[in-house]
Amino acid sequence: GIAVIDFGSQYSHLIARRVRELKVYSEIANPSDTWEKALVHQLGGTVTRGTKQEFGHATLHQDSPSAGWGLPGGRPPLFHELPPSFQVWMSHGDRVEMLPAGFSSLAFTENSPVAAIGNGRDMFGLQFHPEVNHTPLGTEILENFLFRICGCEGSWTPGNVASDAIARIREQVGDGSVICALSGGVDSAVTAALLHRAIGDQLTCIFVNNGLLRLEEAERVQATFRRGMGLNLSYVDASERFVTRLAGVTDPETKRKVIGEEFIRVFEEAATGLGEVEFLAQGTLYPDVIESEAPANAPAGSALSARIKTHHNVGGLPENMKLQLVEPLRYLFKDEVRDVGLELGLPPDMVYRQPFPGPGLAIRVIGEVTLEKLEMLRACDWIVIDEIKGADLYDRVWQSFAVLSDSRTVGVQGDYRTYGYVCAIRCVTSEDAMTADWVRLPYEVLARISSRIVNEVPGVNRVVYDITSKPPGTIEWE
């Protein structure tokens, strides 16, 4: 595999992902695990703060071929079959002043006399970013590195990832029993599917209906896992308990706390009925692992970032049950989890489902959560998803959903005055949920959503579209 050493660059994750896209396993490593300083520093060269920062497109010119590499034409293998000059993306303020012993310069740009270095054998340093799309030949450079220089095989495919994970689960679990909380989301679904393949009936999944799910979600999960896959599924309908506990609660963080606590209680009760259990399977993903392993002084934007809301995932499970964790997705990025899910035969609908918050519809009903409001919101949400899918937009946006506001407005329907709730539509694009922009939905789509909601959902008589980006707004309203 390839270790990407994270010195706080915002690009580390992207490099690891690009390498994996080329079917080579790659991991993010901490400098403290490996080296102390950056490449040029480490080998005895010097780096200074350049007078000019270089940010954006630049033309990279390869230095004249030198015999150093012992290859025909004298070109370094990293640039094999690349033209003498090509476009690259720069983002740095430092420049290399003195090269480490044994290294020579391989390329330059207008502002960087040394933009690539090599030692004539197997060590290279690049000042530009081959991993971003703005470096059009970046993939070729990464391929040269992986396949020509490192001799990688390119065997990191969804099929191999799945069979590796299955083998590891068998090794860890032996003949022990495992429980897993299914949420309907892709992470827990793929976790359960892998475990089921690995250990069959030694796995029991618990699916808690907290009453805050979307229309038909509970039925869909049961259909896929129990009837489709033949998995042991314990279905707990706790919707009344949750709604009762939420009575009178209006503060968003209190809602999250109440839901998180109640979930643990319900889950523990359900698990107690299952007899001896040693393992708990969780769908922890690689970005969470990187985040929790980052050093406390990690630079802003790299791995740690301020928590605006406490995000209770259904994964946040009882500590006092003393279960050993099984986390088969621990080294996977989201898109890889999806590929493994498809490989295991999960329905594309489930694999490509948009993110849905753990506290569910409770943080989309503004103010107090009641059964009546949940029913209204479920109906609105269904219409939004139906129309967004109908317009072929579902896979192209990050999230699209309805929010039931706490405001009521006057309307007129037939010959009657109405006094109903305002439903807000939220549809955003995002890369990682840290920032987001509202989608310029076509007017026709908005028109259909609006007229369907006011006609089909009793109690709602007005629809508005949220045109706030994040920041300053957040994606959810609470």
Q: Does 170 bind ligand XMP (CB under 6 A)?
A: no
| Minimum distance of ligand XMP from residue 359's CB (angstroms) | 5
CA distance 2 to 24: 7
Q: Which is nearer to ligand XMP, 95 or 256 (CB)?
A: 256
Q: Which is nearer to ligand XMP, 100 or 357 (CB)?
A: 357
Q: What six digits make up the tokens of 364?
A: 């989309």
Q: Does 309 bind ligand XMP (CB under 6 A)?
A: yes
Q: Does 420 bind ligand XMP (CB under 6 A)?
A: no
Secondary structure (DSSP) of 61-108: EEPPP-GGG-SGGG--GGGTT--SEEEEEEEEEEEEEEPPTT-EEEEE
CA distance 429 to 261: 31
| Minimum distance of ligand XMP from residue 130's CB (angstroms) | 30
Q: What six digits make up the tokens of 297?
A: 């002084």
Residue carrying structure tokens 């303020």: 93
Is residue 117 within 8 Å of residue 125, measured between CB atoms? yes
Q: Which H/E stretch holds residue 55? A: strand 46-62
Annotated binding site: 183-189
| Minimum distance of ligand XMP from residue 437's CB (angstroms) | 12
Give CA separation, 102 vs 38, 120, 150, 418, in Å. Answer: 16, 8, 20, 81
CA distance 478 to 273: 35
Helix (H, G, I), strand (E, B) or coil at 426: strand
Q: Does 257 bind ligand XMP (CB under 6 A)?
A: no
| 12, 313, 405, 450: residue in contact with ligand XMP (rule CB under 6 A) | 313
User: Which residues, 217 to 256, sit near ligand XMP by CB under 6 A?
Assistant: 256
| Minimum distance of ligand XMP from residue 398's CB (angstroms) | 7
- What count of residues does the chain have? 478
Annotated binding site for ATP: 183-189
User: Which residues, 328 to 357, sit near ligand XMP by CB under 6 A?
Assistant: 355, 357
- Residue 19's nearest CA partner among 156, 163, 161 is 156
Q: Does 432 bind ligand XMP (CB under 6 A)?
A: no
Q: Does 176 bind ligand XMP (CB under 6 A)?
A: no
Q: Does 399 bind ligand XMP (CB under 6 A)?
A: yes
Q: Which is nearer to ligand XMP, 23 or 265 (CB)?
A: 265
| 359, 380, 381, 426: residue in contact with ligand XMP (rule CB under 6 A) | 359
Q: What six digits make up the tokens of 268?
A: 């523990």
Q: Does 17 bind ligand XMP (CB under 6 A)?
A: no
CA distance 339 to 331: 14
User: Which residues, 94 to 153, sit near ligand XMP by CB under 6 A?
Assistant: none
Is residue 270 within 8 Å of residue 234, measured between CB atoms? yes
| Minimum distance of ligand XMP from residue 335's CB (angstroms) | 16
Stretch that binds ligand XMP, among 161-169, 372-380, 412-420, 470-478 (CB under 6 A): 470-478
Q: Give the interface with ligand XMP as residue ranges (CB under 6 A).
A: 256, 308-309, 311-313, 355, 357-359, 399, 433, 470, 474-476
